[in-house]
Structure 1
Amino acid sequence: MKKLSILAMACGCQIWVLCTALGHLLTLSSGLATPRISFPLGSPNRPLQHFQIQDVSNAVTLLLSNDESTLFVGARDAVLSLDVSQPGVFTMKTKMEWKPTPEDLKVCYQKARTELHCQNLVRVLQHINATHLYACGSYAYNPHDTYIVKDSLTMVKDPSNSNVEAKGRCPFNPFQRSTAITIDGELFTGTTSDFWGKKAVISRHLSKDGRPDVNLDKDTSINLLDEPTFVGASTDPADRKVYFFFSEVGKEYSFPDELRVSRVAQVCKGDIGGIRTLQKSWTSFAKAQLLCQPPKDLPFGLIQDIARLQPAEGASTQMLFYGLFTSQWSPNKSAVCVFGIKKIKAVFDGIYKEFNKESHQWNPSRKNYNLGRCGLRNASDSVLTMARLSFLASDVVTPVGGAPVLVSPDQHYSRVAVLRTQAANGKHYTVLFLLSESGWLHKIVLLDGGHHIIEEIQVFSQPQPMANILLSTAKGVVFVGTSERVTKVSVTQCPLYTSCAQCVLARDPFCGWDHASGVCARVSTSLHFGQDVEHGNVTKECGSYNRAMPDPVEKMYISINAIVRLDCTKPTNLATLIWKSPKWDTLPKDLFIQSREGSLVFWANYDTEGTYHCVSVERGFQETIANYIVSLSASPHSFALQPVQKRTTSSDNIQSKTSSEQENSMNQEHANTMMDLDEVDENINWEEVLNPATPVPTPHLPYTQTDSTTPGKALGTQTHRSNIIESFEPQMAKSYHSELIAVSFLLAVCVCVFVLAGLYGWRQRRTFKLGDQVKSEGESLSFEVSGVKPTTYQFDNVSNNAEHAGEM
């Protein structure tokens, strides 16, 4: 019966997963918004500062000095200190080399490790006091640690004498995730302590006041941690506890597959273990599940990173943890959930599950007020035994609001940073910085009704095996460390927005339009700024401002029959482009084609010359961003391109026409053939004209004139490519279809003519045979066919035919 119940539970779990997944496919309601502006790598509008020197790579361990003027970087075989005190300066101050010895490398290679694994990748870099750093590196797959003087980056302790002590402080495998934090000079770590990376530990090292270092319980019959992946550690300044965040296999669930869940674990900073039971082991260790699950969707069980947001000084708000999660079933999906410290404490103060050694099952337990508490040094053996078997909280830690603050259906984020800033209206907004595995840094503001992606910035192009981000609130920059270099990204770039409308539409809580100076700048409570983070209402914040006619107006002089393209680029990804012109009232709109990028394409003639305005529309606000005046030139070659069907007139007839007749004829021809692309198909290679990959050939198109600075192009002479939109393709397809119909019709007519001719000939021959029956022998029949010479036919054996006719 027990096996049947387990099987039924497993089947039920699978059905639940399938039903939830189906529900998610049907709803798809929580997608990530589109970034408003995208800045590819090297974009001049969003300059980045890079630091990269030869022989230094894997610069992913980042640490700021207390005054945030120096950035310490743990890299491969080196520790660096970079000067980041000035906004435009990003230089190296000191470099300390820390390489394994040739003997250590030889031993590492003998263990079948690769060259990269046998280097010394610095994985832990922490402040140990005001003058020294603590560092721990993989050191040829044999962890070493050392103390470093901050100012000079010189070693105080020889790392070769610390082989044993460094185990459990940083991993053997340099690419295995781990975490470390120092509190009052003591080091708390979550990592693995064996060569194979299987034995996970949460430990305290460098203990003060004569206290022993503590570790997890050595009792191997109980796994306090099941294949964990550590992502971060933090402490509550108002409490005496340290929190570790990781994901592991959830053994409390009877799931047929390996189900991974996210956890938060706690230990007390001053825990020194029990007297007889749990000696030098945590008596305060407890863990609970972090649940990040959207409504009607599967939970996001893999925590990738954690960021702590401290409440403002004197504020009544609680400390928050922003967790970045991915899905075990959908690797390309990500979510951000916010957990409050009050909820975490309440869960650890609640009921715990009890582990049954015989059945290896978790059973519900009654509330025990000793579990999850600090100060169990002198507790009885029975209490400590209960603490050893009951360390998993029954309740789960749910996020603030009960759901993720954002869900991305197509982005796999790997790192998160968070800060809070005050807008112009005095309201505080939370801003997230999310780094994707594809190399884009997304800046997102959380709103009352959702979120808004202010911008996305590309910080690297190639996939990175390791990456990390560190936020400096004092300097207002985000440092991105990758396998290649360190990049500094400013949290905002307000002068980028050159108009009040664009500044307000950005909805950036850092930026507002200063009406006094007429620029977009960092907001200040002492000045009035035009800003609307929630709605981006330009009319309200900018008044009657509207740049309807940008100066200068672009003038184009082109020849008749040329293909004209007027360029217009969307200012943001959220904007849509529309074209306005007085021609819309008099001409059919199908004469004009708008490309996917927004450019306007049309034929030049007397009807289409005039003014054209490109208008950007975003959140209901319209702003003219380009103006063109298209005029026909007086070039003698203006009539070079003629439709094929119209070229049947001889040169004598053309010369005999007056100039007014020629003009009227030309206008009539254009009125009849302006959009008939089939008629000019022999003269224009449309595949090349509309394909942006290659230049436009000019031999088949007339000479045109255009200003050298004009962004709009007359495609007859310019090598600039036009971009065709989907609406153009049906027109081309329609033209080819009409050709096919015409050819088919002609073929059908020809076949009918041949059939009728054959029937006519057969009928005539039958008539001749009937005439044979009534003619006498030797009598001749003469007949004449129109256009054919008269012919006399002699009929013989008429009597025989008559006889046969009589017999019939």
Structure 2
Amino acid sequence: MTTTKTKETGSRSVAMLRRHLHPYLIVLLVLVSCCLDRIDSWTPDVLTKSYITYDNTIPAFFGNSTDYFKLLDQDDNSILIGARNALYNISLDRLIEHPSQRVMWTSSDAHRELCTLKGKTDQDCQNYIRVYARLGANKIMLCGTNAYKPLCRYYNLLPSNGSIAYDNNEMEALGRCPYNPLHNSTYVFTDGHLYSATVADFSGADPLIYREPQRTEQYDSKQLNQPAFVSAVEHNGYVLFFFREVAVEYMNCGKAIYSRVSRVCKNDKGGPHPLNDRWTSFLKARLNCSIPGEYPFYFDEIQSTTKTINGIYGSETNQIIYAIMTTPENAIGGSAVCAFAIQDILDAFEGPFKWQQSINSNWLQVPQNQVPEPRPGKCVDDSRTLPKASVNFVKMHTLMDSSVPSLHARPVFTRVSLLYRLSAITVDPQVKALDGKTYDVIFVGTNDGKVIKFVNIMSSDSTDEVKTVTISETQAFPIGTKVNEMTISKKSKKLIVISNGKIISLPLSNCNEHEFKSCRKCLELQDPYCAWDDENRECRNTDELHQSSRTVGRFFQRLDGLNINEICKKYDQRDQRQHKAEENDVYMRVDGSGSAEKDNPLETKNIVIIQGTVTSVGSVDIDNEISKSSIEGSVLTNKIGSHPYHHKTDTLVKENVSIASFTGSSA
């Protein structure tokens, strides 16, 4: 009787709870639906094809925990890494250092003592190599933070033994090198000149873009407003700088950070006296990386860029650059990769200017009749002869009215995560697939140690449409370790991943992994590096194929993902029949703790694993992914790859594991 009353009371309580929660559940479902619609518009690349983890056997180069590695240069065989009190030359093949080409450069005792007197720590008061310039065939220049007193030195390359010798010549690096190794600075060395973007004072309050003797205006927020410099590239007669800064045009509405690209002319000689040490060609424009719509969603903070890439996009040859853009630090974590055409950037600098008439006015387009001639900011033969009207105009109107649109009018990749943001990017440009089309294979690193690989499979056909495939996600570093930089070695077919204190080398592709041993699995990767070899029935890297055999019918690729089941049906069915025949010939034996014998040529036993005991409990047809598992000494292992959060179910070990059956019914 008591039990019956309890049940009735419980039923009434549940009914009342349902009535009270009903309206809230409806609201919750509506909100979830809206959020899913929004997230879907952010992430056209929802599914990742493969999750990969690596052990400690991969090639790696370690430093001290405070080395703050920085990639300075690269050739076919090695990379130059700036570090704490040292420059390392590291082979790309196995990440082994060439000790004879190491440069050791420590700050003097006097400089370190002065640094500590200014309140800096011992870690700060070291010399971190940040700038490398090849001045000639046998001469280089290095610049370091030098205990918060930046300095440059010259070195000679000795062809006889490949070593590097200091030539006892040095100079101050003010405006060339940062004071702090963590400062967001960049540079490019071109045509015999060093173009740098850094800070010129101890406190970091004087940012500048500099090429001796020209610089941006000092303490002028209209030119540079608390910038964080990201990268610099040269293009024909220009040098382009990419950075993020506090947006002056938004100041009347609050504080916001925008991504910028700025331009200076290589032949800029400064203005007429007394402006001979100021740029006459410095202009900047906003970079627009946004989700399109009636109210676009902007990714406003640029974090990293690739080098310029020459390729075919939408059946046209173009030069582009990829950039990582993120949401603000205190917003929901969103990251995107946008592509920008160099020509679109240059066109923005030929458009109208933006200005603010008074401090309380809105920022508006400058009327064309107020722009002096010759047009301010243009490259001229001798900028020292420009009229003062043009020089003063460009000093006060550095911001362009038009922003630079992204190539596809949308990101090529987006990722929403509360755990990490994208932090570094590199690209293997124009990888040729078996169909003759070319694709950019893009790798992005995160501030949580991941490396994500993806490709826009529509890139060669259209610049209006994006269809991104996320091929793999790799936990390259321990969780919490930021990926700072990445580069690709075409010769060794490796991806070099760099953090503050470690460098690792990863393969560009994983075509031969166990999980891709069928035609369907191989083609579903949609990886330009991988093709199914029907003759050997294996997934192979396309670099391994002879050029003469790439068009022969034995190799298959389907980057568009269409009709894969139909293509692979006959090949996979043949493989399944062969695997079944091989399995039927296997005699399964477990030493000491039990046995599973072959009772029927078409059957095998189910296995129960409980604290090391293996017992036969029934029979089931072998027709599932776990059928290839092997039993050795009470351990059953399934090495088929899956999401990293599922790894505990990927490897079934003998400790505290209970499995009734894989499929079918138990005994």
Task: Determine if the TM-score, normalized by the shorter chain, exceeds 0.5.
Answer: yes
Map 1:587-598; keep pairs closer than 5 Å. none
Which is further off, 376-385 or 417-426? 376-385
Deviation at residue 408 of structure 1 after TM alignment? 0.2
Deviation at residue 593 of structure 1 after TM alignment? 13
CA distance in 1, matches of 2:72, 2:562: 36
- SS of the aligned residue for 2:621 comes to strand
Q: Is this contact kept in 1: 2:312–2:318, CA < 8 A?
A: no
Aligned to 1:569: none
Aligned to 1:72: 80
Aligned to 1:485: 502
Q: Which amino acid aligns with 1:374?
A: C
Map 1:30-45; keep pairs closer than 5 Å. 30-31=42-43, 32-42=45-55
Deviation at residue 384 of structure 1 after TM alignment? 1.2
Q: Is 1:414 paired with 2:442? A: no
CA offsets, 1:81-114, max 9 Å, x none? 1223x4x563434211111111111111111101
CA distance in 1, matches of 2:391, 2:523: 60
Aligned to 1:320: 320
Map 1:119-134; keep pairs closer than 5 Å. 119-134=126-141
Deviation at residue 557 of structure 1 after TM alignment? 8.7
Aligned to 1:654: none
Q: Is this contact kept in 2: 1:555–1:628, CA < 8 A?
A: no
CA distance in 2, matches of 1:235, 1:22: 46
Which is further off, 519-528 or 434-443? 519-528
Deviation at residue 552 of structure 1 after TM alignment? 2.9
CA offsets, 1:720-762, max 9 Å, x none? 513799xxxxxxxxxxxxxxxxxxxxxxxxxxxxxxxxxxxxx
Aligned to 1:509: 528
- SS of the aligned residue for 1:311 comes to strand
- SS of the aligned residue for 2:408 comes to helix
**TM-score, length-normalised on structure 1?**
0.64
Q: Is 1:373 paired with 2:381? A: no
**Distance verdict in 2 for CA 1:428–1:540, change over 3 Å:** farther
Q: Is 1:459 paired with 2:464? A: no
Q: Is this contact kept in 1: 2:244–2:260, CA < 8 A?
A: yes
CA distance in 2, matches of 1:123, 1:301: 27
CA offsets, 1:183-237, max 9 Å, x none? 12210011111101111100114xxxxxxx211134x56641000000001111x
**Distance verdict in 2 for CA 1:466–1:280, change over 3 Å:** farther
Aligned to 2:644: none
Q: Which residue of 552, 556, 572 corresponds with 2:583?
A: 552
Q: Which amino acid aligns with 1:90?
A: I
Deviation at residue 56 of structure 1 after TM alignment? 8.4
Aligned to 1:115: 122
**Distance verdict in 2 for CA 1:39–1:133, change over 3 Å:** farther
Aligned to 1:27: 38
CA offsets, 1:585-613, max 9 Å, x none? xxxxxxx9999xxx9xxx989xx722233
Q: Is this contact kept in 1: 2:488–2:496, CA < 8 A?
A: yes
Q: Which amino acid aligns with 1:722?
A: S
CA distance in 2, matches of 1:406, 1:330: 19
Aligned to 1:611: 620
- SS of the aligned residue for 1:501 comes to helix
Q: Is this contact kept in 2: 1:146–1:155, CA < 8 A?
A: no
Unmatched runs of 5 consecutive residues or more in structure 1: 1-20, 206-212, 566-580, 584-591, 616-623, 630-704, 726-808
Q: Which residue of 212, 237, 255 corresponds with 1:240?
A: 237
CA distance in 2, matches of 1:628, 1:489: 27
Q: Is 1:470 paired with 2:484? A: no
Q: Is 1:60 paired with 2:73? A: no
Aligned to 1:226: 225
**Distance verdict in 2 for CA 1:99–1:62, change over 3 Å:** same
RMSD: 3.9
Q: Is 1:722 paired with 2:658? A: yes
Map 1:86-101; keep pairs closer than 5 Å. 86=93, 88=94, 90-93=96-99, 94-101=101-108
Aligned to 2:411: 404
- SS of the aligned residue for 1:494 comes to coil
- SS of the aligned residue for 1:253 comes to helix
Aligned to 1:154: 164
**Distance verdict in 2 for CA 1:230–1:477, change over 3 Å:** same
Deviation at residue 542 of structure 1 after TM alignment? 4.0
Q: Is this contact kept in 2: 1:556–1:628, CA < 8 A?
A: no
Aligned to 2:344: 343
Q: Which amino acid aligns with 1:28?
A: I
Map 1:536-685; keep pairs closer than 5 Å. 537-542=563-568, 544-546=570-572, 547-549=575-577, 550=579, 551-553=582-584, 609-615=618-624, 624-626=625-627
- SS of the aligned residue for 1:351 comes to coil
Deviation at residue 507 of structure 1 after TM alignment? 1.6
Q: Is 1:390 paired with 2:400? A: no
- SS of the aligned residue for 1:319 comes to strand
Aligned to 2:27: none
**Distance verdict in 2 for CA 1:509–1:25, change over 3 Å:** closer
CA distance in 2, matches of 1:475, 1:372: 44
CA distance in 2, matches of 1:255, 1:722: 65
Deviation at residue 266 of structure 1 after TM alignment? 0.2
Q: Which amino acid aligns with 1:72?
A: L
- SS of the aligned residue for 2:181 comes to coil
Q: Is this contact kept in 2: 1:129–1:185, CA < 8 A?
A: no
Map 1:171-182; keep pairs closer than 5 Å. 171-182=178-189
CA distance in 1, matches of 2:659, 2:261: 53
CA distance in 1, matches of 2:660, 2:603: 23
Deviation at residue 149 of structure 1 after TM alignment? 3.5
Deviation at residue 75 of structure 1 after TM alignment? 0.7
CA distance in 2, matches of 1:462, 1:291: 31
Deviation at residue 498 of structure 1 after TM alignment? 3.8
**Distance verdict in 2 for CA 1:377–1:706, change over 3 Å:** closer
Q: Is this contact kept in 2: 1:62–1:481, CA < 8 A?
A: no
- SS of the aligned residue for 2:405 comes to coil
CA distance in 1, matches of 2:201, 2:483: 22
Structure with more of its chain in strand, by fraction: 2
CA offsets, 1:26-73, max 9 Å, x none? 522122433322222317xxx6311225798322234103xx212111
Q: Which amino acid aligns with 1:352?
A: F
Q: Is this contact kept in 1: 2:339–2:407, CA < 8 A?
A: yes
Aligned to 1:285: 282
**Distance verdict in 2 for CA 1:56–1:364, change over 3 Å:** closer
Aligned to 1:746: none
CA distance in 1, matches of 2:483, 2:144: 15
Sequence identity percentage: 24
Q: Is this contact kept in 1: 2:276–2:384, CA < 8 A?
A: no
Aligned to 2:444: 434
Q: Which amino acid aligns with 1:63?
A: D
CA distance in 2, matches of 1:243, 1:594: 65
Aligned to 2:560: 534
Q: Which amino acid aligns with 2:49?
A: R
Equivalent residues, number? 570
Q: 1 or 2 for the larger relative contact order (CA 8 Å, sep ≥6)?
A: 2
Aligned to 1:333: 334
- SS of the aligned residue for 2:136 comes to coil
Aligned to 1:747: none
CA distance in 2, matches of 1:453, 1:564: 43
Deviation at residue 241 of structure 1 after TM alignment? 0.6
Deviation at residue 437 of structure 1 after TM alignment? 0.8
CA distance in 2, matches of 1:582, 1:398: 62
Aligned to 2:216: 216
